[in-house]
């Protein structure tokens, strides 16, 4: 029984406009299917059955298509930002009652060729309250922001990356609910700030991957992801 997965899909997706002026990013078509459908089918292939969709901007459209998840052999529940967008951290804080004590965190614009079960095993073996998957990126797909030596994350810093940082947050994490205990509810904040604090305290485990990630957060990323599926990605 795998941990539940929280999918963060509540943002405004301004970088994808005009595509996202009338639909949320999760419903952008990628090689013939809405992206959220591709994500859910992929998670089900990995024996994941419990998903919480953290929604905000135009999220009702996502719920109308996904429903309760039974069409995918899953149980999908929903957590809503409310009148103001809560950011990645605030959305997770809001969703905790649905997620339980430990859970995966997956970005709503990411497609990751990765084995969730191995990540979960590494997290449980680490004894730490959180884990981040990392890729040696060398600024290739985005700005590298992780110091990762000898299998250990010594610092993650999204807001102030440094030249010696060669790795990047790959886009899949595992969190324990207790890391949110000092965070007020209904307040916007960035998950990156929690990751940073945990990393400098030596409390963020690392799992290194070696295959690139795909994302639809930008027009370039969307084009690359469409090409990946057209060439038979995830087959």
Can you count the helices (H) and strands (E) in the chain?
6, 13
Interatomic CA distance for residues 38 and 20, integer angstroms: 18
Residue boundaries of the structural domains of the chain? 5-230
Interatomic CA distance for residues 114 and 177, integer angstroms: 23
- Rounded to the nearest angstrom, the gap between the alpha carbon of residue 196 and the centroid of all alpha carbons in its chain is 16
Instruction: Tell me the Ramachandran region of residue 126: left when phi exceeds 0, alpha when psi lies from -120 to 50, beta otherwise.
Output: alpha
pLDDT for residue 10: 82
Residue of 52, 26, 33, 27 whose CA lies nearest to 109: 26
- pLDDT, average across residues 6-22: 83
Running DSSP on this structure, what letter comes out for residue 2? P
Beta bridge partners of 153: 148
pLDDT for residue 15: 79
pLDDT digits (tens, 9 = 90+) for 126-136: 999 999 999 99
pLDDT for residue 141: 66
**Annotation: CATH topology of 5-230:** Spore Coat Polysaccharide Biosynthesis Protein SpsA; Chain A (3.90.550)
Report the percentage of the chain scoring pLDDT > 90. 71
pLDDT digits (tens, 9 = 90+) for 138-194: 667 678 899 998 888 999 999 898 889 999 999 999 999 999 988 887 788 999 999
Interatomic CA distance for residues 172 and 214, integer angstroms: 12
Question: What are the start-end ranges of the E strands in the chain?
Answer: 5-9, 29-30, 33-34, 50-55, 75-80, 102-107, 110-111, 130-136, 146-149, 152-156, 167-176, 204-209, 214-215
Answer yes or no: is pLDDT of 223 > 60. yes
> Mean pLDDT in the chain?
91
Q: Using an 8 Å Cβ cutoff, are 34 and 26 in contact?
A: yes
């Amino acid at each position: 029984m795998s941990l539940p997965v929280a999918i963060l899909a509540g943002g405004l997706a301004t970088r994808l406009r005009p595509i996202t002026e009338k639909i949320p990013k999760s419903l952008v078509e990628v090689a013939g299917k809405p992206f959220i459908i591709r994500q859910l089918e992929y998670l089900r292939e990995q024996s994941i059955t419990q998903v919480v969709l953290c929604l905000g901007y135009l999220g009702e459209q996502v719920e109308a298509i996904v429903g309760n998840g039974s069409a995918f052999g899953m149980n999908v529940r929903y957590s809503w930002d409310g009148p103001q967008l809560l950011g990645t951290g605030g959305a997770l804080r809001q969703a905790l009652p649905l997620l339980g004590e430990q859970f995966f965190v997956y970005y709503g614009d990411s497609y990751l060729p990765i084995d969730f079960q191995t990540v979960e095993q590494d997290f449980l073996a680490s004894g730490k309250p959180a884990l981040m998957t990392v890729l040696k990126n060398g600024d290739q797909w985005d700005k590298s922001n992780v110091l990762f030596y000898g299998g250990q994350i010594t610092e993650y810093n999204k807001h102030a990356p440094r030249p010696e940082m060669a790795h990047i947050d790959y886009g899949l994490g595992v969190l324990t609910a207790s890391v949110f205990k000092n965070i007020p509810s209904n307040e916007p904040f960035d998950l990156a700030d929690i990751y940073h604090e945990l990393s400098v305290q030596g409390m963020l485990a690392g799992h290194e991957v070696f295959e690139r990630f795909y994302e639809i957060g930008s027009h370039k990323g969307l084009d690359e992801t469409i090409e990946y599926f057209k060439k038979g990605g995830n087959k």
